[in-house]
Structure formats: C-alpha cells, structure tokens
C-alpha cells in the first residue's frame, strides 16, 4: 500500500541542501555508509509528526535538529520537513485525497510551526494525526536497532502501551487523561465555588437587612427631597414675588412721603410768611393804637387848653395881667429852636429811610436771584436722583453681563474665592477710555478668582446648572509676561508714546498681578503715527493701541474706525459713583444757597425792623414838631391876646390866619377817626390771619404725623425686605449646597405639585421624623446587596453547570473505559490468534502467546508474552539471545499487522542481529504485508535489499551534507561491499 508519498526537507540535521525523496513503492530500502544520514530520514518523519522528545531524536534541545554547519556549508537558521501522504483510503479523518504536514523550527526563538494542508495548526492537532498513522514512540511501527530488544525486555505495563497503540485506544487514553485532568480542575473549582457560595450565604442576610433599611430610608429621603425642593422653589418664588411687591409698595410710599414732605415744606413756608405778616400787623396795630391814644390825649389837652385860654382871656380882659411879655418871647424863641432842631433830625431820619429802602430793595433782588438758582438746583437734584435710581437698577439687574458671568456674580456668596469682574477692579484716566476698551476688549467680564480651585468649582457649578460660561483669572496661577527693559528703553523716546497698558491702570495691590497679566504687552500711543513708529522699532511684536482706539496687532494687522465710548465700557458702578458725586455737589450747592438765603432773610428782617423803627422815629419826630409848634402857637395866641399884635411877624408867615384851637381839635378828630378805621381794618385782618394760621398749624401737625406714619411704614417694609432677603439667601444657599442647583435651573424641573401646602409641610415633618426613626443607614448596602445577590445567583448557576459537566465527564470517562477495555481485549485476542503463526514463520517453529498479568483488570493490566522457540522452554524473555529477542518483537509486529494493519512501518536496521537465513525469511515475510502496509527499511543486509521494490543510497558527497539518490540492487551490493571492506581494512 502506498501511504507516505514524499518527504521534503531542508535544514533538518544533515539535510543542508533541499532534499526530496519520492516513496512511490510499498517496500523501500535505504542504504548507505555509517553517518551518511539514513536514520535522519526516520527522525525527520517522526519530528514532522510532532515528536517532542528531543532525546529520542538524539539531540539536547529543540534547535539541535537545525543544520549546524560543516566544512562544506555554514550553519542554517531554520529546519523544515514536509510529508505528503496518500489519503484516498481516508486513513486521516480529513476529506482530502492528499495530506501535507509541515513542521518548521527557527534558531534563536526555538519556535515551532505546524501546518496541515497549508493551514497553520497546533502541535496537538498534528499529534492526533500521528496517532492515526500509528507512528508513535510507543508503537511497534518504528523499530530501530537500538530498541529492537526493548520489546522483549520491557516491563508488562510498558509493553501494554504498545498494544494500546495497536488497539487504537491510545487516543482514548489520551482523551481520558485530559478528561481526568479536567475533572480534577472542575472538582477544585467546585470546592472553590462552594466556599464562595458559603461565604456569600453568610453575608447575604445581613446585607439584605441593611439594603432594605437603606431602601426604606432612600425612598423616604427621595420623597422628602422632592417635596422639600418643591417647597423650597415655591418659597423662593413666593419670596421673590413678595419682594417685588414690597419694593413697589416702598417706592409708592416713599414717593408719597416725598410729596407730603414737599407739601409740609410749602405749608411751613406759608405759615412762616403769615406769622411774619401777622407780626407786621401787630406792629401796625400797636403803632396805630399808640397814635390813636396820642390823638385822644392831644384832643383832650387841646380841649383843656381851650378852656384855659378862654378863662385866661377872660381874666386878662378883666385885669392887668402879670405875665411879662419878655418871658413869653423867650419861651417862644426856645420853642422855635426846638422846632429847628427837630426838623433837622427829621430830615436825617428821612435820608436814612431812603438808604434803608435801597438796601431792602437790593436784598430782595438778591433773594429773588438766589431763589431762581435754588429752583434750578432742585430740578437738577431730582434729575440726578432719577439717574441714580436707574444706575442702581442697572447694577441690581446686571443686564450688561454675559449669562454665565451674571450667574457667577449672583451666586458669589455661595461660591468660594470669587473676587469680581475685571471691569470692577480697574480705573484709569478718562482720556484712555477708547484705548483701554480696545485693549481689554472681551476681557472686561473675565472673573478674577483667588485660585485655580475656585475657578474649577465655579466652572463645575456652571456646567452642573447649564448656566452659561465664563473666563476666570486665578490669581495664584497667572504669569504676566513683560516687555523687556531694552525694548521699553527704545520706545520711551518716541514722541507720542504714553506708556504700557498695565502702568496706566489704577487698581488695588492684590489685583496688580491680574492687570499686568492682561495689559503688560499693550503699548499705548497718542495717535496712529506714533503707534506706527513704535511698531516699527519693535518689529510689530506687541499690541499697540491709540487714544482713538485703533490697534496695531502683532505682525501688523490694524483695526480702527469710529466708536461710541459709552458702548465700549459699560461700567455701571463707575456711573453710579459719578452720579453720587454730582448729586453730593449739587446738594452742597443747595445747602450753600439755603444758607445764603437764611442770611439774607435775617438781613431783610433786620432792615425791615430798622425801617419800621426809623418810621416810628420819623413819626415821633413829626409829632414832637407838631407839639412844639402847638406850644409856639399857644404862646403866639396868648401874646396876641395880651398885646393885640403878632409876636413876630416874620415868624408867622400865616399871621393872617389865627390859630383856631377848635379847628385843630376838629382836624385831630378827623385824624383820629381815620386811625381808628385803619385800626379796625388791621385788627379784623389779624383776626382772619390768626384763624388761617391756626388752620395751617393744625394742617402742619397732621402732615408731620402723616409723614412719620409713612416713615414708619417705609421702615417696616425695609425690615420685611431685609428679612425676606435673608430668607431667600438661606433658601438659595440650601438649593446650592443640598441640591447643587440654581433657582433658575430648579424652576425648569418638573417638580411635585403642591396643592395643599399645609399637608405637604406636615408630610415633611412626618418624613423627617421617620428618617430619624430609621437612624443610621449604609446607603451603599443597596448596591452591595444587589451585587452580592446577583453574584450569589451567578455562582449557584456556575456551580450547577460545573456539577453537570463533572457528571458528563464522569459519564464519558466511563464510556471511554468500556470502549478501551473492549477494543484492547479484542486486539489482544486478535493478535493472539495470529501470533503462533507469525512466530512459527520467523522462528521456523515453536509458539508464543500474549497473556494479561491481571486478567481481572483488563483496563490496567500489564501484558506479558510467553514464548516457546522450537525445542526450547523459556521462562523469561530476557534469557533469549539478541537475535531471538528481535524475532519475538518482529513476530509480534507481524501478528499486530495481521490483526490491525498499520499504514506505515519503519524498520531501522531491525534485522541487523539476524543470521542471513532469518533475514531472508524476514524480508520475504514482509512482502506478504505490502497490500496493507508500506515499509521503509534502513538496512545493510543484502537479503533485505534484494526484496525491496526500490533502493535509495545515502551519501555525503559534500562533507556533512546528506544526498539521497536512487540506486540499483547491484550498486547497493557494491556499496555494502565497499563499506564492509573499508571496515575490515580499518580493523586490520
């Protein structure tokens, strides 16, 4: 039978050159001198079929099979052997007519590669294949000179292996061994799983308790959180609405209060004016009363005088009077002098009066202009107050800020380390407004924070609440980069260079680093020409900004055009401060004018008093003149009466009109009536004004009371606002700290509806008390329990599966045992049937029998062999000669081949110990098996060679490199002769 079709090798042992041997015959002989590489062919076949024992391949390590180099050829780095089998009889369980097996090994890595029909396979696969060929270490399919006696000398158990191989149970045994190993591993795993399951079972009940307690806690806590969050949001919303309402109320009441205060002021002014008028009326009434009384007295005096004169006249007429004329004249002259003096005094008083009136007019004029100024000032103050309110509103609302920035600033109190915005910490001269706006463009709303950690927290806050984004400048991290001293020195001399950006900013010491960081690489120039010059000097390396707001960027890009400063830097704080300053200035001006007006008022009062006093003095002076004139007239009349002539014609220009006392009395009466009328008018006026004054006084009291009530309300609202602010802040803080969200974000959530707030608050109380009752819980126990429970179930399942597979393994082992036992026993029986015959053929008589050492334990029994060569009775195989031992082994091999054919048998000088007659018998007998077995025979024996179908000669034409050539029997015989004669020569 043709089985092994071809062997190809390169680099394997002495096969340095590529070698191909076509085994196209059933009985192939290989001949050649010692060391020519014949046995290397057998080694190559075994190695290719997965032989792992390097010792049996006559080497020390796996790389020893690679060609090591010789005088003729240097060493190779790889060995490769390829075997091509005929598989038309499907000896290999593969659906191919031809099977190629390749093995390679590489020097250095020692790595082996296996291929079956060009498919890379594992060693195990190739070894399974080898079992199908029967060409394994322990089989009788490869018999060499070295192990031919081994069969006879082996122990029964070692010999059993050979029959197992022949019975084809070796592969089941191998599988059984694997199954047993697997069984052992599975049992170990079962123990391990049992331990784990026990451990989990111990832990699980306590974990379950903890988990269900934690679940109860969590359920209540979640519920509490949910409704508490709703309540919190509801409260904040309510507080916000209430705050709006209160602020509106406060505004309305404050404006009402202002209105009332203005009204009060007007009424107080009115009251003061009226009081002043009343005071004037009192003076007038007093003065008129005084005049009236004076007139009454004068009229009375005149009447008495008239009576006296009438009496005197009568007595003078009756007797010589004693009154000296001289005395009368003297008296008269005295009175004349008094009149003279009094008239001069009167003239001086009138002059003074004119002057006082002038002063009074000038003061009134000044008062008028001051009042005008005051009016304008009041209007400015109202305007500024409105602006102030607007600025404050802008600050409160912070509408100019980006949403992210606004959110951070709003929550500044709950976020750590927030310092403020860039726009809040800087100030600079107004003339740099455009330049700074350009230099800081986009950075004004950067947020300065104390450190990187604060920035991180703020960013995660923004992320968590989806509240926009912002840029942060951490003071502990930023590193300003400055323009070098040399460069500064160069540009300082350029006319129009104003300074470096950071040097033109005023800020607190602690923010200096941030300002330097933002502006230290900006150069400020007064116009574009100087900016251009600076740029050229520094090779356009830095930003250069002009006062007009043009900017030359590094590498020369220019931005410019018209701008609106107000739109550039919207700094409400600054605006607020400016308005406050303006307002303070106007209020100071208002106070100064009020002060001036008060001074004027005092001056006017003084001048009015002076005028009234002067008026009174003029009146008194006039009255005095009148009285003295009357005295003069009296003397004149008496004189006339006495002397019947005028006292002094020159003195009495109206001498023709004699003074008539009656007439004087009449005149005085008329004046008196007139004064009386004036007095009545003044008194009734005063009465009316007193009523008005009282009314005003009452009104003023009422207004004051009303204002203080309003003030009280404003105070109360302020307290309420503060309280609400505190509550809102507390709730917002809880929202941030406990729920990690902003109010705005919370309002976007779908929260539990609160229909009955009282009930919900009651529920919160109940939940809190429930939670307190539950006490300490381990929330992680929930996940732990779930994990452990599913681990437990998983382990149980594993345990069951493994248990099942153990049972399956046991079952298949027992099946394999049965199969092996049956197959083994059948094979032994079949071999025993053939052995007597094969024994007899090879020994030329006698008999042999295979026996079990433990017939009751076929599965493990050793195998012995009883032989009886012709005429001999042998108790022990060791007693046989070397040749006999070889013949026993060969007869068993042939018995096996008869019982169960093996496709390939390799015999490496197996017949060497036999004598020529036995060699002949041996070779002829082989011939009877070639229908079912292919033989590869390494031989030196002519008898064998003569029976081979083809002979190959192994030579080493190149030193150390085997070459195989096909030779004829005659050439082989000559070759053998040469070898033998060379051997004899060496011996001689």
Ligand X SMILES: Nc1ncnc2c1ncn2[C@@H]1O[C@H](COP(=O)(O)OP(=O)(O)OP(=O)(O)O)[C@@H](O)[C@H]1O
- Specify the residue, 618 or 979, whose C-beta has the smaller distance to ligand X: 979
When binding is defined by CB under 6 A, the residue of 27, 29, 38, 449 that contacts ligand X is 38
Alpha-carbon distance of 601 to 144, in angstroms, equals 150
Nearest of 393, 381, 383, 394 to residue 247 by alpha carbon: 393
**Rule CB under 6 A: is residue 39 a binding residue for ligand X?**
yes
Q: How far is the CB of 31 from ligand X (least distance, A)?
A: 9
Count of positions on this chain that bind ligand X (CB under 6 A)? 15
Q: How far is the CB of 43 from ligand X (least distance, A)?
A: 7
**Rule CB under 6 A: is residue 34 a binding residue for ligand X?**
yes
Q: Choose the binding region for ligand X from 35-43, 360-368, 733-741, 827-835 (rule: CB under 6 A).
A: 35-43
**Rule CB under 6 A: is residue 941 a binding residue for ligand X?**
no
Q: How far is the CB of 13 from ligand X (least distance, A)?
A: 4
**Rule CB under 6 A: is residue 159 a binding residue for ligand X?**
no
Helix, strand, coil proportions of the chain in percent (round to 5)? Answer: 65, 10, 25
Beta-carbon contacts of 777 under 8 Å, excluding residues fewer than 6 positions away, are 210, 213, 214, 217
User: What tokens were used for 814?
Assistant: 């027992």
Q: How far is the CB of 98 from ligand X (least distance, A)?
A: 27
Q: Choose the binding region for ligand X from 33-41, 297-305, 383-391, 589-597 (rule: CB under 6 A).
A: 33-41
Q: Choose the binding region for ligand X from 27-35, 570-578, 658-666, 716-724 (rule: CB under 6 A).
A: 27-35
Cβ 909 vs Cβ 878: under 8 Å: no
Alpha-carbon distance of 2 to 24, in angstroms, equals 7
Alpha-carbon distance of 869 to 289, in angstroms, equals 191
- Tracing tokens 């250095």 back to the chain, one arrives at 108
Alpha-carbon distance of 501 to 492, in angstroms, equals 14
Alpha-carbon distance of 153 to 151, in angstroms, equals 5
Alpha helix ranges (H) inside 449-568: 452-464, 485-492, 512-519, 528-537, 565-568
When binding is defined by CB under 6 A, the residue of 4, 13, 551, 863 that contacts ligand X is 13
Q: How far is the CB of 71 from ligand X (least distance, A)?
A: 11
Q: How far is the CB of 944 from ligand X (least distance, A)?
A: 14
Alpha-carbon distance of 707 to 257, in angstroms, equals 6
Beta-carbon contacts of 294 under 8 Å, excluding residues fewer than 6 positions away, are 623
Task: Give just the sign of the alpha carbon dihedral 637, 641, 642, 646.
Answer: positive
When binding is defined by CB under 6 A, the residue of 35, 110, 375, 403 that contacts ligand X is 35
Q: Any known ligand binding at 599?
A: no
Phi then psi dihedrals of residue 668, to 5 deg: -60, -40
- Specify the residue, 68 or 729, whose C-beta has the smaller distance to ligand X: 68
Q: How far is the CB of 870 from ligand X (least distance, A)?
A: 32
Q: How far is the CB of 21 from ligand X (least distance, A)?
A: 13
Q: Any known ligand binding at 495?
A: no
Strand pairing of 847-852 and 863-868? Answer: antiparallel
Q: Any known ligand binding at 36?
A: yes
- Specify the residue, 150 or 499, whose C-beta has the smaller distance to ligand X: 150
Sheet harboring 497-500: ordered strands across?
497-500, 522-525, 543-546, 551-552, 558-559
**Rule CB under 6 A: is residue 501 a binding residue for ligand X?**
no
- Specify the residue, 9 or 444, whose C-beta has the smaller distance to ligand X: 9
Nearest of 549, 483, 550 to residue 520 by alpha carbon: 483
Alpha-carbon distance of 473 to 448, in angstroms, equals 5
Written as one string, the DSSP assignment of 435-448 is HHHHHTTTTTT-EE
DSSP class of 30: E
Q: Any known ligand binding at 885?
A: no
Q: How far is the CB of 158 from ligand X (least distance, A)?
A: 25
When binding is defined by CB under 6 A, the residue of 7, 8, 21, 40 that contacts ligand X is 40
**Rule CB under 6 A: is residue 11 a binding residue for ligand X?**
no
- Specify the residue, 40 or 305, whose C-beta has the smaller distance to ligand X: 40
Contacts for 707-710 with beta carbons within 8 Å, 24 or more apart?
A: 707/257, 707/260, 707/261, 707/264, 710/253, 710/256, 710/257, 710/260
Number of H helices, E strands in the chain: 23, 22
Q: Choose the binding region for ligand X from 38-46, 281-289, 753-761, 880-888 (rule: CB under 6 A).
A: 38-46
When binding is defined by CB under 6 A, the residue of 9, 27, 29, 36 that contacts ligand X is 36
Which region, left, alpha or beta, applies to residue 167 given φ > 0 means left and ψ of -120 to 50 means alpha? Answer: alpha
- Tracing tokens 């024996």 back to the chain, one arrives at 941
- Specify the residue, 360 or 971, whose C-beta has the smaller distance to ligand X: 971
- The H or E element that residue 106 is part of is strand 98-106
Q: How far is the CB of 30 from ligand X (least distance, A)?
A: 9
Q: Any known ligand binding at 38?
A: yes
When binding is defined by CB under 6 A, the residue of 954, 964, 975, 976 that contacts ligand X is 954
When binding is defined by CB under 6 A, the residue of 29, 37, 501, 953 that contacts ligand X is 37
**Rule CB under 6 A: is residue 939 a binding residue for ligand X?**
no
Q: Any known ligand binding at 37?
A: yes
Which residues inside 59-88 make contact with ligand X, applying CB under 6 A? 64, 67-68
Which region, left, alpha or beta, applies to residue 635 given φ > 0 means left and ψ of -120 to 50 means alpha? Answer: alpha
Which residues inside 867-886 make contact with ligand X, applying CB under 6 A? none
Q: How far is the CB of 878 from ligand X (least distance, A)?
A: 25
When binding is defined by CB under 6 A, the residue of 21, 27, 32, 902 that contacts ligand X is 32
Site mask for ligand X (CB under 6 A), range 897-936, x = bound: ----------------------------------------
Site mask for ligand X (CB under 6 A), range 208-247, x = bound: ----------------------------------------
Q: How far is the CB of 144 from ligand X (least distance, A)?
A: 9
Strand pairing of 19-22 and 4-10? Answer: antiparallel
Q: How far is the CB of 960 from ligand X (least distance, A)?
A: 6
**Rule CB under 6 A: is residue 963 a binding residue for ligand X?**
no
Strand pairing of 950-958 and 961-967? Answer: antiparallel
Q: Choose the binding region for ligand X from 30-38, 395-403, 586-594, 862-870 (rule: CB under 6 A).
A: 30-38
Alpha-carbon distance of 165 to 616, in angstroms, equals 165
Residue 964 pairs in a beta bridge with 954
- Specify the residue, 112 or 507, whose C-beta has the smaller distance to ligand X: 112
Q: How far is the CB of 936 from ligand X (least distance, A)?
A: 13
**Rule CB under 6 A: is residue 47 a binding residue for ligand X?**
no
b/e burial code for range 173-186 (CB count within 10 A of at least 16 → b): bebbeebeeebeeb
**Rule CB under 6 A: is residue 14 a binding residue for ligand X?**
yes
Q: Choose the binding region for ligand X from 29-37, 285-293, 387-395, 705-713 (rule: CB under 6 A).
A: 29-37
Beta-carbon contacts of 18 under 8 Å, excluding residues fewer than 6 positions away, are 8, 9, 10
The residues that touch ligand X, with contacts defined as CB under 6 A, are: 13-14, 32, 34-40, 64, 67-68, 954, 960
Annotated binding site for ATP: which residue ranges? Answer: 33-40
Annotated binding site: which residue ranges? Answer: 33-40
């Amino acid at each position: 039978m043709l089985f092994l079709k071809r062997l190809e090798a390169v680099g394997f042992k002495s096969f340095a050159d590529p070698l191909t041997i076509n085994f196209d015959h059933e009985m192939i002989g290989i001949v050649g001198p010692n060391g020519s590489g014949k046995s290397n062919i057998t080694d190559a076949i075994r190695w290719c079929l997965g032989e792992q024992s390097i010792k049996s391949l006559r080497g020390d390590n796996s790389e020893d099979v690679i060609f090591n180099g010789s005088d003729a050829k240097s060493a190779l780095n790889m060995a490769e052997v390829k075997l091509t089998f005929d598989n038309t009889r499907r000896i290999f369980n593969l659906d191919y007519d031809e099977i190629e097996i390749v093995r390679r090994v590489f020097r250095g890595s020692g790595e082996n590669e296996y291929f079956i029909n060009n498919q890379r396979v594992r060693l195990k696969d190739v070894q399974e294949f080898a079992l199908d060929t029967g060409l394994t270490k322990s089989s009788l399919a490869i018999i060499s000179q070295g192990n031919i006696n081994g069969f006879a000398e082996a122990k029964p158990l070692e010999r059993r292996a050979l029959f197992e191989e022949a019975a084809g149970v070796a592969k089941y045994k191998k599988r059984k061994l694997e199954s047993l190993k697997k069984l052992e591993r599975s049992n170990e795993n079962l123990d391990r799983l049992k331990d784990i399951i026990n451990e989990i079972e111990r832990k699980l009940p306590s974990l379950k308790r903890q988990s269900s307690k934690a679940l109860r806690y969590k359920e209540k806590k979640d519920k509490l959180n949910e409704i508490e969050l709703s309540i919190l949001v509801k409260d904040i919303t309510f507080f916000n609405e209430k705050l709006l309402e209160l602020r509106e109320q406060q505004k309305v009441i404050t404006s009402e209060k202002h209105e009332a205060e203005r009204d009060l002021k007007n009424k107080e002014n009115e009251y003061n004016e009226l009081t002043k008028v009343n005071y004037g009326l009192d003076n007038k009434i007093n003065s008129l009363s005084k005049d009236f009384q004076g007139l009454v007295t004068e009229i009375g005096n005149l009447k008495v005088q008239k009576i006296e004169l009438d009496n005197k006249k009568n007595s003078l007429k009756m007797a010589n009077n004693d009154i000296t004329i001289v005395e009368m004249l003297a008296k008269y002259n005295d009175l004349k002098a008094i009149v003279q003096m009094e008239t001069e005094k009167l003239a001086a008083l009138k002059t003074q009066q004119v002057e006082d009136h002038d002063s009074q007019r000038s003061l009134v004029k000044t008062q008028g202009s001051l009042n005008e100024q005051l009016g304008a000032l009041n209007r400015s103050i109202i305007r500024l107050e409105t602006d102030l309110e607007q600025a404050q509103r802008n600050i409160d609302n912070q509408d100019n800020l980006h949403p992210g920035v606004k959110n951070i600033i709003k929550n500044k109190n709950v976020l750590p380390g927030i310092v403020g915005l860039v726009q809040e910490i800087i100030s600079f001269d107004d003339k740099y407004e455009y330049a700074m706006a350009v230099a800081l463009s986009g950075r004004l709303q950067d947020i300065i924070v104390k450190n990187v950690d604060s920035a991180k927290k703020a960013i995660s806050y923004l992320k968590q609440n989806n509240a926009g984004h912002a840029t942060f400048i951490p003071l502990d991290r930023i590193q300003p980069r400055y323009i070098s001293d040399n460069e500064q020195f160069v540009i300082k001399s350029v006319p129009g260079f104003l300074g470096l950006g950071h040097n033109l900013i005023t800020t607190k010491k602690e923010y200096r680093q941030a300002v330097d960081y933002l502006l230290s690489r900006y150069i400020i120039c007064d116009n574009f020409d100087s900016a251009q010059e600076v740029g050229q000097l520094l090779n356009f390396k830095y930003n250069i900004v002009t006062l007009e707001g043009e900017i030359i960027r590094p590498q020369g890009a220019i931005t410019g055009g018209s701008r609106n400063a107000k739109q550039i830097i919207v700094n409400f704080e600054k605006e607020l401060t400016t308005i406050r300053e303006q307002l303070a200035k106007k209020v100071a001006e208002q106070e100064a004018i009020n002060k001036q007006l008060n001074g004027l008022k005092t001056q006017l009062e003084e001048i009015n008093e002076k005028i009234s006093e002067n008026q009174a003095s003029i009146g008194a002076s006039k009255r005095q003149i009148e009285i003295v004139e009357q005295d003069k007239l009296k003397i004149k009349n008496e004189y006339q009466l006495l002397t019947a002539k005028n006292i002094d014609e020159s003195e009495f220009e109206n001498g023709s009109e004699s003074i008539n006392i009656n007439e004087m009395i009449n005149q005085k009466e008329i004046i008196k009536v007139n004064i009386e009328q004036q007095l009545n008018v003044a008194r009734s006026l005063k009465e009316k004004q007193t009523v008005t004054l009282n009314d005003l006084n009452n009104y003023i009291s009422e207004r004051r009371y009303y204002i203080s009530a309003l003030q009280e309300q404003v105070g109360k609202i302020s307290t309420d606002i503060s309280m609400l602010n505190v509550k809102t802040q507390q709730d917002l803080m809880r929202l941030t700290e406990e729920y990690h969200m902003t109010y705005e974000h919370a309002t976007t959530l779908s929260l539990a509806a609160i229909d009955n707030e009282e009930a919900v608050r009651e529920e919160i109380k109940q939940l809190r008390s429930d939670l307190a009752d539950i006490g300490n819980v381990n929330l992680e126990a929930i996940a732990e329990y779930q994990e452990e429970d599913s681990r437990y179930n998983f382990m149980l399942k594993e345990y069951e599966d493994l248990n099942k597979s153990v049972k399956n393994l046991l079952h298949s082992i027992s099946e394999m045992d049965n199969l092996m036992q049956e197959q083994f026993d059948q094979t032994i029986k079949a071999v025993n049937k053939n052995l007597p015959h094969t024994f007899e053929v090879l020994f030329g008589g006698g008999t042999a029998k295979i026996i079990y050492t433990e017939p009751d334990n076929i599965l493990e029994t050793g195998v012995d062999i009883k032989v009886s060569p012709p005429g001999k009775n042998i108790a022990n195989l060791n007693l046989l000669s070397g040749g006999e031992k070889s013949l026993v082994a060969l007869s068993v091999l042939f018995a096996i081949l008869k019982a169960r054919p093996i496709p390939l048998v390799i015999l490496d000088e197996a017949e060497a110990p036999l004598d020529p007659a036995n060699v002949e018998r041996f070779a002829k007998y082989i011939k009877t098996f070639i229908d079912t077995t292919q033989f590869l025979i390494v031989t030196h024996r002519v008898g064998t060679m003569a029976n081979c179908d083809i002979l190959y000669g192994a030579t080493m034409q190149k030193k150390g490199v085997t070459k195989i050539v096909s030779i004829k029997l005659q050439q082989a015989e000559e070759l053998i002769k040469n070898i033998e004669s060379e051997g004899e020569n060496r011996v001689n």
